[in-house]
Amino acid sequence: MSDNANLPSSIPLLDSNGDNWTSFSLRFIDAVRAKKLWKHFDGSSVRPESSPVIPAPPAGIDLTENTQAAEAHAQAVRQAVARAKEDPDFLHRQQVWDDEEYLAAYLLSQRIPDSVLILTRGLPTVRARWLRVNEEMTYKSMHARTSMLNDFLDMKSEKGQDVREFLN
């Protein structure tokens, strides 16, 4: 597999409880941007679709009653579709986008816990997967921070105990 298909070791595995979500996301985003794949995560890149300019039926003419107009319109539609299929770069652009999307999905799956991978597996795009991971880990991270704060606030030394000894 090419070097582009691997993340550097400085990108930690994401903890399933979200403890390292902030540091993970910052490093992961930087690495994915360096690989020029962030556009798949932020949704700014969409799969090229064939977009023939399909002519509208002539105004004021009922194609169900006027067979000559209906045939002319059908022929214009067939020609528009044929022109779109003749675009020699279209299939190549789709293949490049698909390859980048698969690579981006793979990079994400390398560093997220299995439980989160299962949550995101059925989502159609890397953008949708990233949003789901972000939502899940932000929630878990906030919960973990709240729990740590409560544990800290519950810490008390015994009356008369040496505070230095308690903190060690």
DSSP string for the chain: --GGGS--TTSPPPPTT-TTHHHHHHHHHHHHHHTT-HHHHHT----------PPPPPTT--TTT-HHHHHHHHHHHHHHHHHHHT-TTHHHHHHHHHHHHHHHHHHHHHHS-HHHHHHHTT-SSHHHHHHHHHHHHHHHHHHHHHHHHHHHHH--PPTT--HHHHH-
Quote the percentage of the chain above a pLDDT of 90. 41
pTM of the entire predicted model: 0.65
* pLDDT tens digits, 13-41: 999 888 898 899 999 999 999 999 999 99
Q: Is the pLDDT of residue 99 over 80?
A: yes
* pLDDT tens digits, 49-81: 765 566 677 777 776 777 787 788 788 888 877
Average pLDDT over residues 84-94: 78
Q: Across all residues in the chain, what is the average pLDDT?
A: 83
Residues 6+ apart with CB under 8 A from 144: 17, 18, 19
Q: Is the pLDDT of residue 1 over 60?
A: no
